[in-house]
């Protein structure tokens, strides 16, 4: 059971990394002349945690790479919390 939780947390981190890289690719290839639509801006804000924005702000020379790592770490922490709660609730309901 312990390995399953580790795998799921690693999947959360991989998902965060892929999301950050996807947004980086999108904004790198998007037309700079047209403004970003509110829906795209809102989705990017929801899927990119505040940590990634802070890292990008303080280290603009690093850019997408560091934001992707920060996003993966944030998603891993969220995944760890979710999996811990999920495991505790499962144990609580089995009694």
Cα–Cα distances (Å) from 52 to 15, 31, 56, in that order, read 14, 23, 6
pLDDT of residue 81: 92
Distance CA 38, CA 59 (A): 26
pLDDT of residue 59: 66
- For 58-91, write each residue's pLDDT tens digit: 666 666 677 778 888 888 998 999 988 988 887 7
What tokens does 1 get? Answer: 């059971």
- For 21-62, write each residue's pLDDT tens digit: 888 788 778 777 877 777 877 887 788 776 666 666 666 666
Phi-psi region of 63 (alpha: psi -120 to 50; beta: other; left: phi over 0): left
What tokens does 49 get? Answer: 């945690």
Q: How many residues does the chain have?
A: 95
């Amino acid at each position: 059971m312990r390995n399953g939780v580790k795998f799921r947390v690693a999947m959360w981190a991989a998902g965060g990394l892929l999301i950050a890289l996807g947004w980086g690719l999108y904004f790198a290839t998007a037309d700079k002349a047209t403004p970003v639509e509110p829906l795209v801006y809102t989705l990017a804000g929801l899927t990119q945690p505040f940590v990634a924005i802070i890292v990008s702000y303080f280290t603009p020379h690093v850019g997408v790479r560091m934001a992707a790592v920060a996003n993966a770490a944030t998603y891993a922490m969220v995944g760890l919390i979710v999996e811990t709660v999920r495991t505790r609730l499962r144990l609580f309901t089995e009694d």
